[in-house]
Each structure stands twice: as C-alpha cells, then as structure tokens.
C-alpha cells in the first residue's frame, strides 16, 4: 500500500546494471534508514479528498450562497435590480423631491 506512493527512483534499486561495486539492493543497511524516512514521510500525509475551503470575506460568502455549484440562483439579479431602484430613488429624492416636500410647484 505505501510502496505505491513512494517514487520509483527512491524505492527501486540502482538502475545501473554495469556497476557491480554496489551489489546491495534497496533493503541494505545503508539504505534502510533513508527508506524508513521516506516511508514515514508518506505515512504522515493526509489521506482522502481535501476539505472544501470556507469562504472568508463578504463577497466570498455571497458567492458561496448564491452563485457557486448547486446553489446557483437568480437572486443576484434581483439584488442588482433592487439596488438600482433604491439608488435611483435616493438620487431622485436628493436632486428633485426634497425641494417639493412642503410646497407644490
């Protein structure tokens, strides 16, 4: 199981067949400590899928709620239309309607 996670250059003996000065395989005493470090490193890695990142800011939470994945809705369009209506009325009131509050024209 762990042997499938170890890169092949580390887990296999030397590829140099002509060099007979080092006839030991990877399980030799010199390589055993190094191999054990590699195995322990791979054993400590987390298994399974990575957890989904949590939205942090206001815009990220809004996107996660209304726009991402299965949560796609038309509410952002409704929010934009409502925002334009509110800003339009505020603009109209400030530049025109407040002058006609107490007297007609």
pLDDT tens, 58-80? Answer: 999 999 888 888 878 899 999 99
Burial track 57-67 (b if 16+ CB lie within 10 A, e otherwise) = eeeeeeeeebe
Please indicate whether residue 4 or residue 46 has the higher confidence score (pLDDT).
46
Matching residue, tokens 């949590």? 54
Residue 83 lies in a domain: yes
- Residue-wise pLDDT tens digits, 10-59: 555 554 444 444 544 555 566 788 888 888 999 998 888 888 888 999 99
Does the structure show a pLDDT above 90 at 89?
yes
Residue 86 lies in a domain: yes
Residue 67 lies in a domain: no
pLDDT on residue 73 = 85
Q: Measured between alpha carbons, how far apart are the two ends of the chain, in Å?
A: 86
Residue 7 lies in a domain: no
- Rounded to two decimals, the pTM is 0.47
Residue 64 lies in a domain: no
Long-range (24+ apart) CB contacts under 8 A made by 10-14 are 10/35, 10/38, 11/35, 11/38
Does the structure show a pLDDT above 70 at 105?
no
Residue 55 lies in a domain: no
Residue 79 lies in a domain: yes
Residue 98 lies in a domain: yes
71 with 65: CB under 8 angstroms?
yes
67 with 60: CB under 8 angstroms?
no
Number of domains in the chain: 1
pLDDT on residue 34 = 85
Is residue 16 classed exposed, middle or buried when 0-12, 13-18 and 19+ CB atoms within 10 A define those classes?
exposed
Range of the domain at 95: 74-104
């Amino acid at each position: 199981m762990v042997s499938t996670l170890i890169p092949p250059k580390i887990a296999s003996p030397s590829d140099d067949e002509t060099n007979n000065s080092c006839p030991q395989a990877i399980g030799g005493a010199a390589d055993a400590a190094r191999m054990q470090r590699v195995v322990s490193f791979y054993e400590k890695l987390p298994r399974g899928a990575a957890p989904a990142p949590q939205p942090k800011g206001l815009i990220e939470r809004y996107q996660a709620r209304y726009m991402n994945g299965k949560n796609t809705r038309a509410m952002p369009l409704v929010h934009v239309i409502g925002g334009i209506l509110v800003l339009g009325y505020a603009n109209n009131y400030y530049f025109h309607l407040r002058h006609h509050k107490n007297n007609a024209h």
